[in-house]
Amino acid sequence: MPVAIVTGASRGLGLALSAGLAGAGWRLVVDARDATALAEAADRLGEAAVTVAGDVTDPEHRAALVEHARRLGGPDLLVNNAGILGPSPQPRLADYPLDALRAVYEVNTVAPLALVQAALPDLRARAGAVVTVTSDAALEAYEGWGGYGSAKAGAEQWSAVLAQEEPALRVWRVDPGDLRTRMHQEAFPGEDISDRPLPETVVAAFLRLVDTRPESGRVRLADLAVPA
């Protein structure tokens, strides 16, 4: 059975993708900072998942994720989904607290690369794949999205370079689109985001990506959606 590491898997997109992979026969190593929420997610994922509570910015935690995946025989896939929005409501760059900006970069840009580095020998050996969840805010200039957007832009760039440096791997920057998640709600405090689709709606497209293994690059899950 193939093995995947999925970060930020206690809720939202991470949980939806993990459930989809479990249903497709994958073994999982999943994490989240909130141990209670992660335990609740484990009930949904069942025996397919090993849960490891912790913070992706912690080197020991990253090492533990990789070690658990090795015990299962993998990893074949690393899904860098964990992320933070930063201050809510999001400030303009002129007012952005720099300590908060450093935290946003650490979680969204640095930690995912550090986890790739930890897992890379195993991924190379298995001709595996790396998915880093990104956003259109990495490409477009939206007022108030300077911190999060630039952090995701950094992750997009290192992913593109990694694809050149590791041609035996698949390295995808995956834009899931606007979804009805807690993070998206934090970006629009007090607003009704019920018009956004639930994370479960993009799972089929994600599984299609993993199954068909197209060339490394930027992927919009909407482009992989199977017509109803």
> pLDDT tens digit string along 109-137?
999 999 999 999 999 999 999 999 999 99
Q: What is the H or E stretch that residue 28 is in? A: strand 27-32
pLDDT of residue 166: 98
pTM, 2 dp: 0.96
pLDDT for 178? 85
Amino acid at 218: R
- Which ranges constitute the DSSP H helices of 73-167? 98-105, 111-125, 146-165
Question: Average pLDDT over the chain, rounded to whole?
Answer: 94
Q: So what's the pLDDT on residue 119?
A: 98
Q: Which residues contact 8 (CB under 8 A, 6 or more apart)?
A: 14, 31, 32, 56, 81, 82, 83
Select from 129, 114, 113 the least CA-distant residue to 74: 129
Tell me the C-alpha distance between 204 and 27, whole Å: 18
pLDDT at 107: 98
Q: What confidence score (pLDDT) does residue 228 get?
A: 53
Mean pLDDT for the stretch of residues 7-14: 96
Q: In angstroms, how far is CA 28 from the centroid of its own chain?
A: 14
Whether the CB-CB separation of 176 and 12 falls below 8 Å is answered with no
Distance of CA 211 to the CA centre of its chain: 18
Task: Tell me the CA distances in angstroms from 220 to 135, 208, 213, one per residue in order.
Answer: 9, 12, 14
Helix (H) or strand (E) holding 38: helix 35-45
Cα separation of 200 and 66, whole Å?
A: 26
Q: Is pLDDT of 188 > 90?
A: no
pLDDT, tens digit (0-9, with 9 covering 90-100), for 36-88: 999 999 999 999 999 999 999 999 999 999 999 999 999 999 999 999 999 99
Take residue 197 and report the two structure tokens written for it: 């689709």
Residue 227 confidence (pLDDT) above 70 = no
Catalytic residues: 148
Question: Which domains, from first to last, does the chain contain?
Answer: 3-224 (3.40.50.720)
- What does the pLDDT look like over 164-177, one tens digit per residue? 999 999 999 999 98
Extract the tokens encoding 101.
Answer: 């900006």
Please give the average per-residue pLDDT across 190-202, as a whole number.
Answer: 86
Residue 184: predicted pLDDT: 72
DSSP state of 191: S
